[in-house]
Structures are given as C-alpha cells and as structure tokens.
Amino acid sequence: MRRKMTMMMFAFVMAFSAACGNGGGNGGESSNASGDHAEAEQELKGEIVLWHSFTQGPRNDFMKKAADEFMAAHPGVKITIETFAWAEFYTKWTTGLLSGQVPDVSTALPNHVVEMLDADAIIPIDDVIDNIGRDRFYEAPLKEGSMDGKSYSIPLYSHAQVMWYRKDLLEKAGLEVPKTWAELKEAAVKLSSPPDVYGMSVPMGIGDMLSTRFLNFYVRSAGETLITEDGKANLTSQAAIDGIKYWTDLYKAVSPTGALNFKTLDQSTLFYQGKTAFDFNSGFHIGGVETNSPALLDHIDAAPIPKVNASDPDQGIETSNIPMVVWKESKHPEIAKAFVESLYEKEEYIKFLHSVPAGMLPALKDIAEEPAYLADPTIEKFGNAVKIIGEAVDKGTAIGMENGPTLQSGIITSQSIIETMFQDIVLKNEKVEEAAARGEKQLNDLFRVAQ
C-alpha cells in the first residue's frame, strides 16, 4: 500500500447523499464486437464478484440482467453479485482490504476512489475507456479518478446540484427566478409562510454534509474553493466568511427551527411535500416529488446555482460522478474490464439511465443527445431542468476535487466540522470569524494526518 490505512478509518464518507452518480467515439456501441478484442472476449473464463450499491428497484434489476446477459454471451464466466448500501459499502471495502476480501469489480463514490488509490487497491482501466471512446466522456469525471496520467475509474452516470423552485409560488408573488444570492434571500423571505411553506430550509445536521454543501455553493459561485490548490482548508477568506454569514442569516430568517438537525432525507422530504419554496439537489428530486406529491410535478423546475453578482462568470459547482473500478486483487481483471465495458452498450445503457429519468444523466456526451435517450416522458417534461443539470455536470466536480483527487475532499465532507461550526454560531452565538478560524484549523490538522 502507498500509505498506512489510517485515513480509511475516518467516519463514513457522506457523499452518498449526492448519489440517493478521450479517443475516438463509436456511435454509442461498445467496440467489443470486432477484431482481436472480440476474439479475446470469446475466450473469457473464470469467476468474478461484483459489488454495487444499487440496492433496489430498476437499477438493481439492470445490474442483474447485465450480469446474466454477459454470462450468456460468455458461458465460461460466472458473476456473483453482492449489493451494499453506500455507507455499508465503505465499511465493507475498507475492512475487506485489510483481510483480502474485496470484489473483482464494483461501483464506488469519487471520495472512495481517492482512498482506493491511496491504498493501491485498484488498477488502471484506460483500455476500457479507450475501447468505449475517451472523447465521449466528460473530462472532469475522468480527472477525478486519474493519477500520474492513468485512469483508475470510469463514470457510469452523473448528476449535479442545481436550485429547485416552485414555479407556482413565484408566479403568484410576481417574482422572477433568483439569479443571485441576494435575490434568493429576498424571494425566500417573501414566500415564507410557516408552517405551510418555508422559503427555504437551511440544514445543519451533524453526521451529514449538507452545511458543507451549502457553503460550497456560495464559495464556488464566488470563484473560490473550500480546499485550496495547495491542499489547505478555506473557511476564513472573505468569500467563505460571507457565505457562512449568508446561510446563518437565512436560517434565522426563513428556515424551520428543526433544520438545525436536518440530514439529507429530512431536507429533501420538505420539498417533496411542498413545504419549501426553494431547495438544492439533483434531478433525483423529480422522483421524490412524484412519489410524495405528484400534483406538484407541474409546479417545480430547476435553475443554475445563484451567483454573488449576476454578471459573475459561471463556475462549476458540485457534480457527482458515480464510477466503476476494477480491483487489484482480482484474479480475472480481463473479465471485470470486459463486463464494465458491456454496460455502455447503447440500447441497454439508455434503459439503465431511464430507470431514474433526469436523475441519472449520461456519462457519455453523445448519449446525452441521443433521440432514444431524450424520448422519455420525464426527460421531455423536464427538458429545461435536464439541460440545466447537464450544463452543471460538464463544469462541476465533487466537493474539494476542483484541482484533482485529494484525500482532503473525503475529510471535509465526512467529519461534520463545518456542520458543527454552523451549530456553534446558531446555538452558542459564537462570532462567525472565530468559529470559522477554529473549523479551518481542525480541518487542516486532519489534512496533515492524511499527508
């Protein structure tokens, strides 16, 4: 291993809340159907284990079907599937790595990939990416899994954080969709009518990463990052201090009191039930509203993350890319790689994306423009939102990975230091500058351990 395993024993990486996501192209079909590559595939023989975190529903069904079809095409291959929720998966692979009990191939989260790289646990899969077509992928997702010029993960799908809003409430109040943070605050205050509707919920729950996410929105929109290029925490720059004050003030002005302890499900449920006018999330919000309050589907839409000033340049904010990796311990990496490649066959890949329409966006640029992909009722209905999310996917990264994969990105999203900072400001009336300085020091102390 490249380093001690200390960093893998930090608290569970909480980025799963974001998930519950260049060579020649080939028109959407995997290139494994021609030449020597096809001949090699016909000779595949052996058993592999697949771990994935699509624990239920159509996505789970897709992985089962994909494995069955692959085995039918390659009678000498056996694929055993095991599923784990994201938090469980983190425990499973970190402990399994110590005992040698890891799969041949698995899904992952970007922060997982960073730790896997640090532990020398996965192998390059540039050959898979090149076979599919490197130039078909967005650049940022590949960069998140790259080290020393080699790609160690391949994005299966993506989604990005955007601002969701209630069209009907804005129209009734005669308000435009906010483009700046000041406009959002003004609109949220005007639309707030508790307990029926709150302008916005500002979540600060310990054990989640939502305060970190919200602060990152503000700081990134100002052109800065929560982790600097030299790997230090940034909670005390003017943009960061302004962001902390903004969310603290908005919490006091319009947020339900209970949001002080809100985690991801608590936060999302309010919007699903029509209890908040604004929220931030990915296209997965559509499915949540459809399940909980289908009558609201005609009244929601998405817009870009606000800016400090309307004239400020667009910034990449937060994108979640859900990748696949092949493990170094695999006795049959050739089978694992061939199976991963098979997942991108155009027709079946589109069916996979349609299992959560508008929630899972294509990792392949050409599929995003494919008529068969676009011809889905939900994608057609929310065409504007899908466009907004797609543009955000192309620009953003995981929190803290703006300058490439770093262990610090996992620490800042898993340790609740920023969430604790916000709670101290609200509950203990601590000065913003003092709480921010303490949080920054705590993060930098942990960063030094990682290094």
- Give the pLDDT confidence of 88-145 residue by residue, as tens digits: 998 999 999 989 899 999 999 998 999 999 999 999 999 999 999 999 998 888 988 9
Same domain, 337 and 439: no
- Asked if residue 404 belongs to a domain, the reply is no
CA distance 67 to 77: 10
Q: Which residue did the predictor score with more confidence, 144 or 19? A: 144
Q: Are strands 46-52 and 77-83 parallel, antiparallel or unpaired?
A: parallel
- Asked if residue 403 belongs to a domain, the reply is no
pLDDT attached to residue 451: 72
List, for residues 62-97, the tens digit of each pLDDT value: 999 999 999 999 999 999 999 999 889 989 999 999
**Terminal Cα-to-Cα distance of the chain (whole angstroms):** 14
pLDDT attached to residue 42: 56
Domain CATH number, residue 291: 3.40.190.10
- Asked if residue 405 belongs to a domain, the reply is no
The percent of residues in the chain predicted with pLDDT above 90, rounded, is: 82
Residues 6+ apart with CB under 8 A from 339: 48, 50, 66, 67, 70, 79, 105
Q: How sure is the predictor about 395, in pLDDT bands with cuts at 50, 70 and 90?
A: confident
Q: What is the rounded average pLDDT for all residues in the chain?
A: 90
| Token reading at 439 | 């949080």
pLDDT attached to residue 248: 98
Q: How far is CA 311 from the centre of its chain?
A: 27
Q: Which of 90, 89, 98 is nearest to 4 (CA)?
A: 98
Cis peptide before 195 (omega within 30 of 0): yes
Same domain, 95 and 79: yes
- Amino acid (one-letter) located at 412: I
Count other Cβ atoms within 10 Å, centred on residue 124. Answer: 17
List, for residues 244-295, the tens digit of each pLDDT value: 999 999 999 999 999 999 999 999 999 999 999 999 999 999 999 999 999 9
- Asked if residue 1 belongs to a domain, the reply is no
- Amino acid (one-letter) located at 114: V
Q: State phi, psi for 314 to the nearest 5 degrees.
A: -65, 140
Q: Are 204 and 211 in contact (CB under 8 A)?
A: yes
Burial of 402 (0-12, 13-18, 19+ CB in 10 A): buried
Same domain, 285 and 429: yes
Q: Which of 285, 316, 138 is nearest to 219 (CA)?
A: 316
- Asked if residue 408 belongs to a domain, the reply is no
Write down the residue that tokens 């130039």 correspond to: 135
pLDDT attached to residue 3: 47
Same domain, 285 and 232: yes
Number of domains in the chain: 2
Q: Which residue did the predictor score with more confidence, 37 or 51? A: 51
pLDDT over 70 (residue 13): no
Mean pLDDT over residues 143-150, rounded? 92
Domain extent at residue 350: 6-160+319-395
- Asked if residue 401 belongs to a domain, the reply is no
Q: Are 152 and 324 in contact (CB under 8 A)?
A: no
Q: How sure is the predictor about 24, in pLDDT bands with cuts at 50, 70 and 90?
A: very low
Q: How sure is the predictor about 30, in pLDDT bands with cuts at 50, 70 and 90?
A: very low
pLDDT over 70 (residue 36): no
Q: Are 258 and 350 in contact (CB under 8 A)?
A: no
- Asked if residue 58 belongs to a domain, the reply is yes
Mean pLDDT over residues 318-330, rounded? 96
The percent of residues in the chain predicted with pLDDT above 70, rounded, is: 91
> Rounded to two decimals, what is the model's pTM?
0.87
- Asked if residue 54 belongs to a domain, the reply is yes
CA distance 218 to 238: 11
Taking CA atoms, 115 is separated from 16, 54, 376, 398, 450, in Å, by 15, 21, 37, 14, 10
pLDDT attached to residue 394: 82
Same domain, 369 and 438: no
Q: How far is CA 130 from the centre of its chain?
A: 24
Q: State phi, psi for 226 to the nearest 5 degrees.
A: -75, -20
Taking CA atoms, 268 is separated from 27, 88, 174, 339, 407, in Å, by 37, 22, 25, 35, 28
pLDDT attached to residue 39: 41
DSSP 331-400: S-HHHHHHHHHHTT-HHHHHHHHHTSTTTSEESBTTGGG-HHHH--HHHHHTHHHHHHHHHHHHH-BSTT
Same domain, 297 and 323: no
- Amino acid (one-letter) located at 430: E
pLDDT over 50 (residue 60): yes
CA distance 321 to 319: 6
| Token reading at 442 | 């705590």
Same domain, 22 and 152: yes
Q: State phi, psi for 300 to the nearest 5 degrees.
A: -120, 155
CA distance 247 to 243: 6
Same domain, 69 and 109: yes
Same domain, 288 and 425: yes
Same domain, 105 and 128: yes
Q: Are 220 and 315 in contact (CB under 8 A)?
A: yes
Same domain, 212 and 230: yes
Q: Which residue did the predictor score with more confidence, 17 or 163? A: 163
CA distance 73 to 76: 9
Same domain, 28 and 95: yes
pLDDT attached to residue 9: 44
Mean pLDDT over residues 230-242, rounded? 97
